[in-house]
Chain A
Amino acid sequence: MNERYLRGFYVRLTGVLMLIVVLGLLATAYLSHRAFEQSLAPEMVKKVTSGGASVRGLVLTAMAHNIGFRELYGVEQSFEELKGAIPDVAYVALTDTQGAIVYESFTAPPGVAAYFREPGLLASAARRNASAPVVRLGKQYVVSMPIATPSQAVGMLHIGVDVGFVDRIVLDMLFDVLVVLIAALFFTLELLNFVAGTKIEAELKALGATIERGGAGNFSTFGAPSDQAFGAVHRLLERMRLRVNSAYEALARDVEAARRLPAHERPPGLAAAASGLSLLAQRYRFGPADPSETADAGLLARVRAPLFVFILAEELTRPFLPGYVKSLLVPISWLAPEVVVGLPIVLFMLIVALAQPFLGATCQRFGYRRAMLVGAAIAAFGFAASAFAANVLDLLVWRSLCALGYATVFVAAQGHVLEHSTAETRARSFALFVGAIMVATVCGPSIGGILADNIGERMTFGVAALLAVVSIVAIQRLPDSARAGQPRTKPSTSALRGIGALLLSKRFMTLTGLAAMPAKVLLTGMCFYLVPLYVLALGSSQTMVGRILMAYAVVMVLCTPLAAALATTRERMEKLVGAGLMISGSGGAMMLLGGDVGSVFAATVLVGVGQSLSISAQSALLREHCEAEVAAMGEPLVYGLYRLLERLGNALGPLLAAVLVMTLGYQTSFAVIGALVMVCGIGFLLATRRQPSPELAWATTV
C-alpha cells in the first residue's frame, strides 16, 4: 500500500514540478523570441540590403545605357535570383519617384501601396546609397533602398522579409526545449529518488512494515525508529507494539512464576492461563524481531544515482561519436574508412563483452565500491583523453579505457545490487538497476547531440568526463563491501564442456543466434553507427541524431513494461520475440521506401518498438527453452554465455554496417540489416513452432 501511496505522492510532485518547468520554459521561449526578433531582424535587413545592392546595380547599369525605368527587361528574373540567394525574401518591388509600383514579385504585404507613397519615404529616395528605415507591414519587414543616378532620383527598391524567419528559429529551438523538458522529467524523477526519495521510501517502507506486521499479529520489536520523516507516527505505533509485547512478556513471566509455586499455592486458573498463553503465542508473534527482516533498502537504492550519472556520461557520446571519428580519420592502407569509423564502437562493445565475465570475480574480490571507483576513474580519464584525441588511432586507445571503465562500473554495480538484495527482492532490485540505465539512455543522446552541435564534440567529451567524476563523488557514498581474499574461481573443465554443449544445443542457439544476437546487431549497427552517420550525411545536425536516439529510448521505456506484462506464457514469449524481430527488422527495411530524416526517425521508432517487444521476453525464454541445460550446468553458466554472445552481437553490428555501407551505401545497408533481422525472426518463429506431441497427435486422430 505504501508503495502506491509513495508513487501517488511522486506523481503529484513530479506533475506540479513539470507544470512549473513547462511554464518556465514557455516564458524563456517567449523572452528569447522577443530578443531574437529585436536582434536578428536588423541583421536580416543588412543581409537583404546586400542582396538588393545587386538588383539596384543592374537598374543603374541599365539607366546608364539610357534604358527607361519603365522599359527594363528581366527585372522579375533578377527578383527571382534574389529570392534564390535569400529564401527569406517574401516580396520585392521597384517604385518610381512618386511611389507607384512599376515592378513587383511574390506576396505583397497589406498596405504596401499606401506606404510607398508616404512623403517621408519618397523624400529619402533622392539620397543615393541611403536606406530608409525598416518598417513592419503585416507579416513582413520592408526595407526600402533608394535608386538614384548622380544626376537624378530614379525610384526605390523595396524588399520584404517574412517575419516567420524568427518563428522558424524559435520553432526549431522549441524542439530542443521539448527534448530538455523530457530530459528534465526523467532528471526530476532521478533527483526525487536521489535527494529525498530513497529516504522517504525507506521510511515509508519501515512504517508500512510496522503497520503490516502489527496488522498480521506480529508484535516482535525492532528497537526505536530513527528520527525520520514520519517518526512521530512510527514511534507511536512502535510504542503500541512494544506495549503489547511487554504485556505478553509480563503475562508469560507471571504464568512461569505461578508454575514454579508449590502445587497448593498455584492459582486455580493456571492451566487455562497457560493454555491461553500458548494460544496467544501461536496466533501472534512476540519477542525480538529477526534481524534479516530489517534490511536497509536505502543501501540498494544508493547505487542508482552514481550509475545513472556514469551511464549518462557514456550515452552523451552516442549521437556524435561516429561523426567525431570521421573527423579524426587518418588513412590506414589495409582498412576502408567506413570500417575505421566503426572501429571505436566495435572495440568498445568487444571489450565490454569480453571483460564482463572476468570482471565479475575481480570486482567481488576487490570490493564493489572500490571497483566502481576505479572503473569510473578509468572512464573519466578515457573521456578526457578522447576530447584531446589527435587522430583515430589514439582515440581507439582512449575509447578502450572508456570501455574498460564502463564494464567495471557495470559489473560492480550489478554485484552491489546482488549483494544487497534477497531472492524475493532481486527482480525489483534489478528493475532499479535497469531503470537507471534506461533513464540515462533517454537523456544522454539528446543532450549529447545538442551539446556537440553547440559547444563541439571535444567539449562534450569534456562534459562526459566531468559527469564521470561526479559519479565518483556519488560512488563514495556507497558502503564499502570489500570481500578480500576470496579466491577467484577458474572455469572448470566441466564448465568448458558445458559451454561447448550449449553452443551445440539447438534450443540455446535458436534463442541466442536467431534472436538475441540479431537484435543487438540491429541496435548497434543501425542506431549507433548508421543513424548518426547517415543523418549527418543528409545535412542534418547531431541534435537531430540525439532526438532520434532519444525517441528510441523513450519507446523502449514506454513499451517494455507493456511487453513484459504480455509475456506470461512460453508461447506468448516466443510470439513476442518473433514479432519483435520482425517489427524491428521492418524498421531497417523501410528505409528503402524513403531516405529522409523523417524516415530514419520512423525506422528507429519501429526498431524501438520491436526491441521492447522481444528483449524482456528473450531472457525469460532462455529459462523456458534451456530448462535441462540450466538444471545440468547451472543458471550462471547458461545466462553468462547467453549474455556474452548477445554482447558479441553488439560488437558485430557496427562492423557489419560498415562493410555494408562500403559496398551498398547507407539506405541499402539499413535495409539489408533490417531484412537479415526479419529473416532471423521468421527463422525463430519456425524453429519454435510447437509440434504436437505424439500423444496429442494420436488423440486428434481418434
Chain B
Amino acid sequence: MSSTRRQMMIVAVLVCLFAVGMAGLLNFFKYRSNAERIVTERLVVTGKAIGNSIQSSLALGMQLADLGMLPETLKRERATDDLILSIEVFDLDGNPLYNTDLLRATRNVPADWLHAARRAGGKDWFVQRGTESAAGIAIETNFGLAVGYLALRYSDETAKTSTNAVARQLALATLGVFIAAALVASLALSAMTGLMSRKFDAVEAAVRSGDRARSSEALRNGPFGGALRRFIEGVRGAEAEIALVRRQLERGTAP
C-alpha cells in the first residue's frame, strides 16, 4: 500500500503543478498583454491628439509636408511622456517628413513600420522590435483620405522591465500557492489511501480471527461487503462438506 500512497502523492503534486502552474502562466500572460495594451494605447492617445491637430491644419488646405507649427507640437508632446523616444511623421511611401529625433530625420522609416501601417488600413498599428518599437496612426484628411502616418517610437525594454518585475512577483506567488496546494493535496490523498488501507487491514484481521461476530461486523463495513461474506461462508460450507465426506470415508457411516 505504501507504493500506492506514493503514487497518490505524485498525482497530487502533478495535478497541482498543472493547475496552479498553468493559472500562474496565464496570469502572467494576461498581465503582459494588458500592460502592453495600456502602454500602446497611451501612445496612441498622444498620437491621436497630434493627429487631430494635423487634421485641423489639413482642413484649412495646408499640405502635410508644409505644417510649420508641427515640429514644435511634436517636440512638446514628446516631452510629456518619457516613454516616447521620438515622434515621426512620414508619407505613404515611408519618406520622412517630421521627426523629433534629428539623427533619424533623413532616414526612411523601418520597412516593418511601413508594412504594419499599410496592413492596418486606417486603424492603429503597432510594431514591437526593441528600441525600434512603434505605435502608429494613419493621418487622414476630413474626407478619410490617408496622406501619411504618425509613429511614436518607444523602447519596449522600458515596458519589459516592469513586466519582469511583475513576472517575478507572480512567479513567487504561484510557487507559494503550488507548494501549499501540493502539500495539502499530498497529505489528503495519502490520508485517504491510508483510510482505504486500514479498511482492508480490518477485513484481513476479521477474516484471520475466525470470530464469526467480529468478521460479520468488519465484512459488513468493509469494501467487499456481501461478496466477501459469501466467500467466507462458501469456504466454511465447502470445508464442512469435505469434512463430512471424509468422516464418511473414515467411519464408514451413512449421513
**Which B residues are in CB contact (< 8 Å) with A280?**
238, 241-242, 245
Cβ A254 vs Cβ B4 within 8 A: no
Q: Output the nearest chain A residue to B12 by Cβ-Cβ distance.
A: A17
Nearest neighbor of A280 in chain B, beta-carbon distance: B241
> A9 contacts which chain B residues (CB < 8 A)?
192, 196
Q: Please, what's the 1-or-0 string for A143-181, where 1 marks a CB less than 8 Å from any CB in chain B?
A: 000000000000000000000000001001100110011
Chain B CB within 8 A of A495 CB = no
Known A196-B11, A211-B228: A24·B178 in contact at CB below 8 Å: yes
Instruction: Give B15's nearest chain A residue, CB to CB.
Output: A188
Q: Give the residue name and chain of the B residue nearest to A278 (CB).
A: B245
> What is the bound-complex CA distance between A31 and B181, given in angstroms?
15
Interface residues as binary, B8-34 with A (CB distance below 8 Å gives 1, 0 otherwise):
101110111011101111110111011
Answer yes or no: A225 CB below 8 A from chain B CBs. no
**Is the Cβ of A254 less than 8 Å from the Cβ of B249?**
yes
**B241 proximity list for chain A (CB < 8 A):** 276, 280, 283
Interface assignment of A107: CB less than 8 Å from any CB of chain B: no
Whether B66 sits at the interface, judged by CB under 8 Å, is: no
Q: With the chains together, A53 CA to B81 CA distance in Å?
A: 10
- Give Cα A280 to B244, complex, Å: 11
Verify if A486 is at the interface (C-beta below 8 Å from B): no
Cβ of B169 within 8 Å of any chain A Cβ, yes or no, is yes
Q: Which of A21, A199, A210 has the most CB of B within 10 A?
A: A21
The docked-state distance in angstroms from the alpha carbon of A455 to that of B33 is 11
**What is the count of residue pairs linking A and B with beta-carbon distances less than 8 angstroms?**
270
Chain B residues, CB < 8 A from A23 = 181
Q: Would you call B23 and A177 a contact (CB within 8 A)?
A: yes
Pick from A227-235, A291-299, A348-356 the stretch touching chain B.
A227-235
B131 at interface, CB cutoff 8 A: no
- Residue B192 contacts which of A13, A208, A272 (CB distance < 8 angstroms)? A13
Q: A17-B189, A23-B181, A233-B204 are in contact. Are A214 and B26 (CB under 8 A)?
A: no
User: Is A602 engaged at the interface, CB distance under 8 Å to the other chain?
Assistant: no
Evaluate contact between B34 and A21: CB separation under 8 angstroms: no
Give every chain B residue within 8 A of A16 (Cβ-Cβ): 185, 188-189, 192
Q: Is the CB of A251 within 8 A of B26?
A: no
Q: Does B46 contact A (CB under 8 A)?
A: yes
Do A24 and B180 form a contact, CB below 8 Å, given A5-B223, A176-B30, A232-B200? yes
Bitwise, B24-68 to A at CB < 8 A (1) or not (0) is 111101110111001101110110110010000000000000000
Determine if B26 and A454 form an interchain contact, defined as CB atoms under 8 angstroms apart: yes
Chain B nearest CB from A98 CB (Å) reads 27
CB under 8 Å from chain B, chain A span 252-281: 254-255, 258, 267-270, 272-273, 276-277, 280
Instruction: Tell whether, in the assembled complex, residue A191 and residue B14 are in contact, meaning their CB atoms are under 8 Å apart.
Output: yes
Task: Count A-side interface residues using an 8 Å CB cutoff.
Answer: 93
Decide: B170 and A32 in contact? CB cutoff 8 A. Answer: yes
Contact among B29, B45, B242 with A51 in the assembled complex (CB-CB below 8 Å): B45
Q: How far is the CB of A425 from chain B (nearest CB, A)?
A: 20
Interface on chain A toward B: helix, strand, loop, or mixed SS? helix
Q: Is A134 an interface residue (CB 8 A)?
A: no
Q: Which single residue of chain B is at the shortest CB-CB distance from A276?
A: B245
A258 to B81, CA, bound (A): 111
Which residues of chain B come closer than 8 Å to A529, judged between CB atoms? none
Q: Is B74 in the interface zone, CB < 8 Å from A?
A: no
Whether A222 sits at the interface, judged by CB under 8 Å, is: no
Q: A176-B30, A214-B234 are in contact. Are A208 and B224 (CB under 8 A)?
A: yes
CA distance A255 to B248 in the complex (A): 10
A233-B169 Cα distance, complex, nearest whole Å: 51
Q: Bound complex: CA of A180 vs CA of B16, how far in Å?
A: 11
B23 touching A29, Cβ below 8 Å: yes
Residues 160-178 of B contacting A (Cβ, < 8 Å)? 162, 165-166, 169-170, 173-174, 177-178
A192 contacts chain B at the CB level, 8 A cutoff: yes
Contacts of A46 in B (CB 8 A): 42, 81, 83
Minimal beta-carbon separation of A133 from chain B (angstroms): 18
Alpha-carbon gap, A469 to B83, bound state (A): 44
- CB contacts (< 8 Å) of B162 on chain A: these are 39, 43
Q: Are B231 and A173 in contact (CB under 8 A)?
A: no
Whether A626 is near chain B, meaning CB under 8 Å from some CB there, is no
Contact A13 B189 (CB under 8 A): yes
CB-CB under 8 A from A191, the residues of chain B are: 11, 14-15
Which B residue sits closest to A23, measured CB to CB? B181
B252 located at the interface, meaning its Cβ lies under 8 Å from any Cβ of chain A in the complex? yes
Contact A284–B238 (Cβ < 8 Å): yes
Would A187 and B192 count as touching, CB distance under 8 A?
no
Partner of A267 from the list B14, B178, B252 (CB cut-off 8 Å) is B252
Q: Which residues of A, 427-461, contact B by the 8 Å Cβ criterion?
A: 447, 450, 453-455
Query: Would you call A289 an interface residue if the criterion is a C-beta within 8 Å of the partner chain's C-beta atoms?
Result: no
Q: Is the CB of B192 within 8 A of A2?
A: no
A247 within 8 A of B: yes
Contact, CB under 8 Å: B246 / A254: yes
From A39, A181, A241, B19 is in contact (CB under 8 Å) with A181
Q: Is the CB of A269 within 8 A of B253?
A: yes
The answer to whether the Cβ of A40 comes within 8 Å of any Cβ in the partner chain is yes
Most B Cβ at <10 Å: residue of A29, A181, A184: A184
A28 engages B24 (CB within 8 Å): yes
Is A35's CB within 8 Å of the partner chain B? yes
Q: Does A69 contact B (CB under 8 A)?
A: no
Contacts of A268 in B (CB 8 A): 252
Q: Is A240 an interface position by the 8 A CB rule? A: yes
- Which of B27, B30, B41, B244 contacts A86, CB < 8 Å? B41
With A17-B185, A280-B241 known as contacts, the answer to whether A27 contacts B29 (CB < 8 A) is: no
Which residues of chain A are near B20, meaning CB under 8 Å?
A: 21, 24-25, 28
B142 contacts partner chain A, Cβ-Cβ < 8 Å = no
Contact B166 A39 (CB under 8 A): yes
Q: For the complex, is A634 an interface residue (Cβ under 8 Å from B)? A: no
* Cα A169 to Cα B19 with chains together (Å): 19
Least distance between A196 CB and chain B CB atoms (Å) = 4
A392 to B67, CA, bound (A): 45
Which chain A residues border B244 with CB–CB below 8 Å?
A: 276
Does the CB pair A196–B8 fall under 8 Å?
yes
Q: Which residue of A lies closest to B239 (CB)?
A: A244
| Cβ-defined contact, B35 with A173, below 8 A | no
Chain A residues contacting B180 (CB-CB under 8 Å) are 24, 27
**Which residues in A have their C-beta under 8 angstroms from that of B110?**
none
Q: In A561-588, which residues have CB < 8 Å from any B CB?
A: none
Asked whether, in the complex, the Cβ of B248 is within 8 Å of the Cβ of A269, the reply is yes
Q: Which of B3, B204, B234 has the most CB atoms of chain A within a 10 A radius of its CB?
A: B234
The verdict on A50 contacting B42 (CB below 8 Å), with A196-B11, A233-B204 known, is yes
- Judged by a CB distance under 8 angstroms, whether A237 is at the interface is yes
Cβ contact within 8 Å between A28 and B173:
yes
- Residues in B with CB closer than 8 Å to A208 are 224, 227
Query: Are B204 and A236 closer than 8 Å at their CB atoms?
Result: yes
Contact indicator A47/B42 (Cβ below 8 Å):
yes
A74 to B137, CA, bound (A): 26
- By the criterion CB–CB under 8 Å, are A237 and B18 in contact? no
Do residues B200 and A233 form an inter-chain contact, with CB atoms below 8 A?
yes
Known: A129-B80, A180-B22. 17 other contacts (CB 8 A): A2-B224, A21-B15, A28-B177, A32-B173, A85-B48, A177-B23, A177-B26, A196-B7, A200-B4, A215-B228, A215-B231, A247-B242, A248-B242, A270-B252, A273-B249, A276-B245, A276-B248
20 contacts between A and B (CB under 8 A): A24-B20, A24-B23, A28-B173, A32-B30, A35-B170, A40-B34, A50-B42, A184-B18, A188-B11, A199-B4, A211-B230, A212-B227, A236-B208, A243-B239, A247-B243, A251-B249, A269-B251, A269-B252, A269-B253, A454-B29
Interface residues of A (CB under 8 A from B): 1-2, 5, 9, 12-13, 16-17, 20-21, 23-25, 27-29, 31-32, 35-36, 39-40, 43-44, 46-47, 50-51, 53-54, 57, 85-86, 129, 169, 172-173, 176-177, 180-181, 183-184, 187-188, 191-192, 195-196, 199-200, 207-208, 210-212, 214-217, 219, 229-230, 232-233, 236-237, 240-241, 243-244, 247-248, 251, 254-255, 258, 267-270, 272-273, 276-277, 280, 283-284, 447, 450, 453-455
5 cross-chain pairs, A with B, having the tightest CB-CB distances, nearest first: A215-B230, A269-B252, A268-B252, A24-B181, A276-B245
